[in-house]
Structure 1
Amino acid sequence: MTVRGPTLCLGGSTSGPRTIPAWREAVAPFWDVEIRKEDTQDFRGRSDVYHLGNAIVGLTAASGLRNERSRGLVARMGVDHVAAQIRIEGRALLRAAGCETPMEPGDVALLDLAQPLSLDSTDYRAVTVIIPRRLFPEGGARLDEAHGVVLRGAEPFGRLVGDHLRAFGETIPRLAPAEARAAAQATALLLSAAGAASGAGRPARCSQRAPVFLAIRSHIDAEIGSADLSVDRICHRFGVSRSGLYRLFAPLGGVAEYIRRRRLARAYRELAEGGGQGARVSEIAYRFGYGSPASFATAFRMEFGMSPAEVKAGARADVAPAGRPVQPEPPAGGWDAFYDWVLMLDA
């Protein structure tokens, strides 16, 4: 399955200010967009998107802007995919995993869309490939630690990865569906190797930890609403020590921090999807292990910069509810359904 579209093309000059909301709305599943006030009159942008069934490829050119994935956006959209972006033209400053890394033309960024990041860009042209985590070897465990790594186009391996992504973007309009899916699978293998080769992934350690690490992550996600979920119970269930469990989750801040953030992210989604209906804030607080609504509200605001009540009151009516049946084919030609495209990626 390869579906062309949607395509968004925005001109500049006098129509500039009216194009900014259209661009923000189009990329809303992935980015909060900021554009300098003095640049709005001449903002230009074009994005062509292809859905391959097991990946999404975007060919984008735009004026200078800032793209950000805040913790709130990560929680609200629930996208757990991996992305790689090559800068064909233009420079950027990538902020991810506590580091600031400049990007030059030809550089490739590895991005975990389940983690926050931001990109400050000059006028640019780029190819972005988005792949579901389960398409990667070991469920993408290597790429958890490679989030924010930039492969330099001036270096041999970075050039190899960049040439692949560049060729993928150039040929995608002409690939048959089976060819496109095969290309996405090959890209996942290459990016997984890139995560290890970058040095951030420490491949020997990852290959040893991956099966139990992924099993524990799956268990945590399945039991995230259970009051019985605890470090001690996880250690007992999987036969690991507390120190060993911490080492497994050290790249994510430790297992307790991982559970805390997953609980807050789940609470955010329940509040947002329920809108003005559904469970009360106090019920959600107790459900996710907080002793009082006040302590829940404090932790929630520190994580997302807003209160649970604000999220509940301002929830968008069009957020996709959990359990909504998946359509057999992605909708073609419209940015209104782009979020559906993202959710419908398969391995």
Structure 2
Amino acid sequence: MVEAGLDYLVAATRADAVPRDRRVDFWREHVTANHGTLHFAFADRQDFHGETRVQRAGGVQLVVFSSDAIGYERRSVDVDRDGEDSLRVVVPTSGQVVVEAAGRRSRVRPGAAALVSMTQSFALSHDEHTRAFILSVPATAWPEARPPEGARLWNTSEGAGRVFAAMVAEVAEQAQALDGGSFVTAAELAFELIVRGDAGRTYRLTEQARALARHSCADPAYGPGALSRELGLSLRTLQERLSREDSSPAALIREVRLDLAARRLTHPGWRRRTVTDVAYASGFGSVTAFNAAFRERFGRTPSEHRLGR
């Protein structure tokens, strides 16, 4: 059970914020503070660029990063020195990350994820086109007594892995809307899902389905069939399992679209867009159906919601 009232950090950092001649040292200190003792190999020490956004609470951390080409190495002496024993899951969204651990070299691209343990030596490197998430969780989150040797790789293009990647992206996107407890719960749920693999598809299915639907619901063609395929389930199986929670694939997608529309109606960036624009942009094919569903869900019309009535 997640402790209530956890301190929750959300912080964005850019190497460009410091003078050029200090960026390498700045990046080294910043990354070490987030990930423990590492050794760095900068492709360009004279004009380095990099940025991160960190979310952290209760021993769980999610970093979204991009930077110029660089290599990181954790050596055996570092493991002995700092006592850091947490786990790191690297999830590229562009480019590739090369992972070397236990004598094996792996190229991790979008559609895959790699886990390494800070209790073992490893090396990571990437080029300037790479952007990735790094999810850090306590060693106790691993279901076995010892973490896997070397790097553990997962497919995140389908099934449980795809749901995991969608949930991680959602946690990052909702950074400012979360508190410490909800951040830790969501991140740990995502990690448990990918560790459990196929066995995890039935675990908190509604949360998994919502995470996927949030990423695709603005497409009016997205429907129950697409959602079931992303979950790796037949449509009939998904319908049966959601019915146990008094829901259905169509109802879940509609609720996610309504939540998206409600946020947009009060967002400053959508202030000049009409209610009709918001409805269509949120995946609804009919303004009439949107208005009726919105009133049923929120007890007021979209226009009243926008005005705060």
Q: State the TM bucket, normalised to the shorter chain.
A: 0.5 to 0.7
- CA contact 2:8–2:179 (8 Å) conserved in 1: no
1:104 aligns with 2:109: yes
1:31 aligns with 2:49: no
Higher radius of gyration, 1 or 2:
2
Q: 1:35 to 1:107 in 2, by over 3 A?
A: same
Q: Which residue number in structure 2 is paired with residue 133 of structure 1?
A: 139
Q: 1:136 to 1:149 in 2, by over 3 A?
A: closer
Output aligned runs, 1:44-123, within 5 Å. 44-123=49-128
Percent pairwise identity: 23
Q: Which residue number in structure 1 is paired with residue 23 of structure 2?
A: 19
SS at match of 2:46: helix
Structure 1 CA distance for aligned equivalents of residues 100 and 56 of structure 2 = 27
Structure 2 CA distance for aligned equivalents of residues 77 and 196 of structure 1 = 35
Q: What letter is aligned with 1:26? A: H
Q: 1:138 to 1:196 in 2, by over 3 A?
A: farther
CA RMSD, aligned part only?
2.6
CA positional deviation for 1:101: 0.4
Per-residue CA distance 1:52-95 (angstroms, 9 max, x = gap): 21411112111110011111112111101111111112212110
CA positional deviation for 1:155: 4.7
Per-residue CA distance 1:228-269 (angstroms, 9 max, x = gap): xxxxxxxxxxxxxxxxxxxxxxxxxxxxxxxxxxxxxxxxxx
Structure 2 CA distance for aligned equivalents of residues 155 and 30 of structure 1 = 34
- Which of the numbers 168, 171, 183 marks the counterpart of 1:168? 171
Structure 2 CA distance for aligned equivalents of residues 81 and 95 of structure 1 = 18
Q: Which residue number in structure 1 is paired with residue 154 of structure 2?
A: 151
CA positional deviation for 1:114: 0.7
Q: 1:157 to 1:5 in 2, by over 3 A?
A: closer
Q: Which residue number in structure 2 is paired with residue 209 of structure 1?
A: none
- CA contact 1:83–1:112 (8 Å) conserved in 2: yes
CA positional deviation for 1:22: 0.7
CA positional deviation for 1:137: 3.2
CA positional deviation for 1:120: 1.4
SS at match of 2:14: strand
- CA contact 2:168–2:187 (8 Å) conserved in 1: no
With the length of structure 1 as denominator, give the TM-score of the two structures. Answer: 0.50
SS at match of 1:57: strand
Q: What letter is aligned with 1:98? A: G
Structure 2 CA distance for aligned equivalents of residues 149 and 196 of structure 1 = 17
CA positional deviation for 1:183: 1.2
Output aligned runs, 1:329-340, within 5 Å. none
- Extract unaligned runs of 5+ from structure 2: 1-5, 201-309
Q: 1:115 to 1:186 in 2, by over 3 A?
A: same
With the length of structure 2 as denominator, give the TM-score of the two structures. Answer: 0.55
Output aligned runs, 1:178-217, within 5 Å. 178-194=181-197
Structure 1 CA distance for aligned equivalents of residues 157 and 192 of structure 2 = 22
SS at match of 1:109: strand
- CA contact 1:57–1:169 (8 Å) conserved in 2: yes
Query: Which fold has the larger relative contact order, with Cα–Cα distance below 8 Å and residues 6 or more apart in sequence?
Result: 1
Structure 2 CA distance for aligned equivalents of residues 98 and 194 of structure 1 = 25
- CA contact 2:114–2:152 (8 Å) conserved in 1: yes
Output aligned runs, 1:213-252, within 5 Å. none
- Extract unaligned runs of 5+ from structure 1: 198-347
